[in-house]
A and B are shown apart, each in its own frame.
Chain A
Amino acid sequence: QVQLQESGPGLVKPSETLSLTCVVSGYAISNGYDWGWIRQPPGKGLEWIARIHHSGTIHYNPSFESRVTISADTSKNQFSLKMTSMSATDTALYYCARRGQGLAMGAFDIWGQGTMVTVSS
């Protein structure tokens, strides 16, 4: 059973850089699939941030492209997100997720439970 678990600092100061990690269990990320990050501000909807293919191909939401970096560490079976210049509007629940395959390739079929990030001084 594939499971994803996010981890992060919880609280970040304005202008600082956020670092998040998603540990994948039950599947080796080097074997396939795409992996992504999605966020959800409190009481609001979902926003896709970035995606990394198991081969290393990366795509970003243009809204974040200038300040995010997604990477993967296959030796630890995890992938990460860094977001610079954090502000209060970046306060959100950050999810990692697996992109489906085949007919489900347009969707995210497995999600982590999310990690809350609050930006405040």
Chain B
Amino acid sequence: EVVLTQSPGTLYLSPGGRATLSCRASQSVSSGFLAWYQQKPGQAPRLLIYAASTRATGIPARFSGSGSGTDFTLTISTLEPEDFAVYYCQHFGSSPTWTFGQGTKVEIK
């Protein structure tokens, strides 16, 4: 089973700043099956990125995903006030199984 480890646990940034979130897989995975979600307090997760780098419908261009193999990154180029939230990476495995990372919280500095 693939284990996803996200870092850092909490990222303290100011609005207008750039956020770089990491997701590391315990073994090489297909980038086609790596996704990112945003979750705000009291809300369900929202799909941001699928297939490692494709933005979901309606997701602003300031969100971008990259990576391959075991290392994946979610970048928010210019943080807006509404971007302060928890972000999860997720992998779809062949069993099939869906595995989530433990999350990175982006907090206002």
Interface residue ranges, A against B (CB under 8 Å): 36, 38, 45-48, 51, 59, 61-62, 95, 100, 103-109, 111-114
Interface residue ranges, B against A (CB under 8 Å): 32-35, 37, 43-47, 50-51, 54, 56, 88, 90-92, 95-103
Contact status of A103 and B96, CB under 8 A, knowing A45-B102, A109-B56: no
Contact residue among A47, A103, A105, A112 (Cβ-Cβ distance under 8 Å from B100): A47
B residues within 8 A CB of A103?
32, 50-51, 54
A residues within 8 A CB of B44?
95, 111-114
Shortest CB distance A6–B (Å): 10
Contact residue among B37, B51, B97 (Cβ-Cβ distance under 8 Å from A104): B51
| B98 closest partner in A (C-beta) | A48
8 contacts between A and B (CB under 8 A): A45-B100, A103-B32, A103-B51, A104-B51, A106-B51, A106-B98, A109-B47, A111-B46
